[in-house]
Structure 1
Amino acid sequence: MTTSDDEFRFLATDARDVGVTGDLPRVERMSLTLEDGRSLSALRFGDAPPAVTFVHGAGLNAHTWDSTILALGLPALAIDLPGHGDSSWRTDAAYTATNLAPDVATGIRAWASGPQLVVGHSLGGLTGAALAASAPELVAQLIMVDITPGIDPNAGAAQIRAFFAGPTDWASRDEMVDRAMAFGLGGGTREKTERGVYLNSRVREDGRVEWKHHFAHLAAALAAAPEVAAQVDAQQDALSEILSTTGWNDVAAVAAPLTLIRGEHGFVTAEDAAEFMGRRPDAVLVALPTGHNVHEEAPRSLAGTIAELGDTRQR
């Protein structure tokens, strides 16, 4: 395991929490420069070429998959979407699946060999569908986690939006942890909250600490300009209809075996799942007793489901 950066300091605890014993897999931070000069970053687990590629949701980062990947026990790639983690922000702030999929494709081509079992959560799930539609040679199987087209992948509880609409930089990570816990976020314990804050923030050259993902900064800017926020909301309503159509077109174009994993208390309702299955009756539907962040609430169950689906589809 590469230990040159403290970002890996939580892996032993993550492994213990999911019942994994013995030596931890090798984990390394990968980075490449895209054609337009932006950087794309990822985590690669294991010594063999990745068999599974994970794509996170809005406001998260590649480390959100750590526990699931450790429980799965397969060589894997977890990509930081543009605007998240250690990947560059987009100057146009256009974080839609259609815009993100080409960068994910570039990462898979650079860091994996052969078609991948792609697991995408929320915005990452829609990105996975766009990837499978536009670069089918890279996707052997697609698992979409708690998302269908028509559902806002950037949605969330009011306290989450209010949380990120606050300050964008802090004197210390302890202050960020205190704020997260005051909003009822972070997993319920200070230890879990510290992990999430640490992996989703960075120390600037001036010593201040800021959130890594662009969404927090965009939310704060909109909160400071209510008149602009109202205009953006109106534009978003119109854009959502377009993106929903695009998303369903992507889902229809997925040639690889397709699965929807739904958190029973998450974003995808029973009606949403029924619509998905009506449009793709060949797909597999799995429901798990979790909220939206299935991979964080039930990483062992999710890993077991991924392993079973991968094994079944390969027979």
Structure 2
Amino acid sequence: MSADGSRPRSDDDEFRFLAGDAERVGRGGPLPAVARESAVVPDRRTVSGLAFDGGRPPQLVALHGAGLNAHSFDPMLLALGRPALALDLPGHGRSDWRSDADYRPSALAADVAAVLDARVTDPVALVGHSLGGLTAALVAAARPRLVRRVILIDITPGVSPRRDAGAVHEFIRGQRHFGSIDEIVDRARRFGIGRDPAALARGIALNTRVRADGRLEWAHHFAHLDAPSAGEDPHPYAAIWGALDGLSQTGAPSALIAADGGMLDAALVAEWRERLPGSPVVEIAGPHNLHEAAPAALAEAVDRLLAGDERAAQ
């Protein structure tokens, strides 16, 4: 939570979009049970998340990117149809803000690992988008007995935040309050964050709160922090290559799903292939936020990877 105790918007049912999400991805029949859960990490902060088919142990745990939240994965998880747990990373959604404002993958990984310790018994697949993907790699390295596969969505450790993620950072921090959801949708489309106005409006509605003056602001902590200094390490995630390289030795293979219009250029994808020759690359048409822009295609790609693992284990 923020210093003043404020929370994301709670004026409407947070699950109000599920029926529309299911229709969008072609899922028929009754909706699965989706429930909000929470876990307390060692310093007594709360990490919140959404359990899909909560009566069954999750087969995968989904980690969103910077400035998003667990609901970003709703359409993809409905299309996938597997028991899953989607977490609000610390500082996002309904998870508490970190008092040290440390949202580096290493800090987030420690929190996610604590949640896995409390919630997971059988090995799961970790599916992480952007910042969540880098976090997933470190979680898998720290908890190999709890992870059977890692799937990174449109991110590699070779990404340079200043060079490759500048537009995302500017979108999050460049304007801090808005008059309407439509205004934010227009801004997101200008920044190439998404293409479908309805999908963008849905995500924004679940990721904003109303200020005392009636204007909208982002609910996540990132939007309330100053931008990082220009003198930061241009490749702060390079050490995560080592975590990914070691995963195959622990029986947790990795894979990359790249958006053809996303953050990764040909050089970054080529670096992945060179460094991790046994880790497949799947390309999907869409922008960086594939789980919001192309959820059915993303679910199909994830399902193929998981089904391949299941066949190999038989």
Same fold (TM over 0.5): yes
1:71 Cα deviation after fit: 0.1
Q: Secondary structure at the match of 2:115?
A: helix
- Gaps of at least 5 residues in structure 1 are 223-228
Counterpart of 2:97 in structure 1 is: 89
8 A Cα contact 2:286 2:294, kept in partner: yes
Of 174, 185, 195, the match for 1:165: 174
Q: Which amino acid aligns with 2:222?
A: F
Q: Which amino acid aligns with 1:247?
A: I
1:145 Cα deviation after fit: 0.8
Counterpart of 2:275 in structure 1 is: 279
8 A Cα contact 1:57 1:120, kept in partner: yes
Change (3 A) 1:286 1:32: same
Distance 1:211 1:162 in 2: 11
Q: Which amino acid aligns with 1:233?
A: A
Q: Alpha carbon RMSD of aligned pairs, Å?
A: 2.4
Of 214, 228, 233, the match for 2:230: 233
Counterpart of 1:127 in structure 2 is: 135
Of 178, 196, 203, the match for 2:182: 178
Once the two structures are superposed, what CA deviation does each residue of 1:169-208 show, in whole Å capped at 9, x if it has no partner?
x6xxxx2313213424375565434312221023468976
Counterpart of 2:242 in structure 1 is: 249
* Larger helix share, 1 or 2: 1
Q: Which amino acid aligns with 1:284?
A: P
1:125 Cα deviation after fit: 0.6
Counterpart of 1:226 in structure 2 is: none
Q: Secondary structure at the match of 2:36?
A: strand
Distance 1:296 1:193 in 2: 8
Once the two structures are superposed, what CA deviation does each residue of 1:30-73 show, in whole Å capped at 9, x if it has no partner?
11222212110100000211111100011110000000000000
Q: Which amino acid aligns with 1:245?
A: A
Of 101, 111, 121, the match for 2:109: 101
Q: Secondary structure at the match of 2:242?
A: helix
Q: In the TM superposition, what are the counterparts of 1:1-315 in structure 2 within 5 Å?
A: 6-46=13-53, 47-152=55-160, 156=165, 158=167, 161-162=170-171, 164-168=173-177, 175-185=179-189, 187=194, 191-203=198-210, 209-218=216-225, 221-222=226-227, 232-234=229-231, 236=232, 238=233, 240-241=234-235, 243-254=236-247, 255=250, 256-315=252-311
Distance 2:271 2:221 in 1: 32
Q: Which amino acid aligns with 1:250?
A: A
Mean Cα displacement is larger for which, 98-107 or 153-162? 153-162
Once the two structures are superposed, what CA deviation does each residue of 1:92-113 show, in whole Å capped at 9, x if it has no partner?
2221111111111122232333
Q: Secondary structure at the match of 1:102?
A: helix
1:261 Cα deviation after fit: 0.9
Report sequence identity in percent. Answer: 43
Once the two structures are superposed, what CA deviation does each residue of 1:212-246 show, in whole Å capped at 9, x if it has no partner?
1111111xx45xxxxxx6xx111x2x2x43x3332
- Gaps of at least 5 residues in structure 2 are 1-10
Task: Tell me the TM-score normalized by structure 2.
Answer: 0.85
Once the two structures are superposed, what CA deviation does each residue of 1:224-274 show, in whole Å capped at 9, x if it has no partner?
xxxxx6xx111x2x2x43x33322122222231111111122111222112
Distance 2:281 2:168 in 1: 30
Q: Count how many residue pairs are aligned between Structure 1 and Structure 2.
A: 293
1:156 Cα deviation after fit: 4.0
8 A Cα contact 2:180 2:215, kept in partner: no
Change (3 A) 1:82 1:163: closer
Distance 2:142 2:174 in 1: 34
Mean Cα displacement is larger for which, 188-197 or 286-295? 188-197
8 A Cα contact 2:172 2:222, kept in partner: no
1:308 Cα deviation after fit: 1.0
8 A Cα contact 1:176 1:197, kept in partner: no
Task: Tell me the TM-score normalized by structure 1.
Answer: 0.85
Change (3 A) 1:87 1:277: same
Q: Which amino acid aligns with 2:224?
A: H
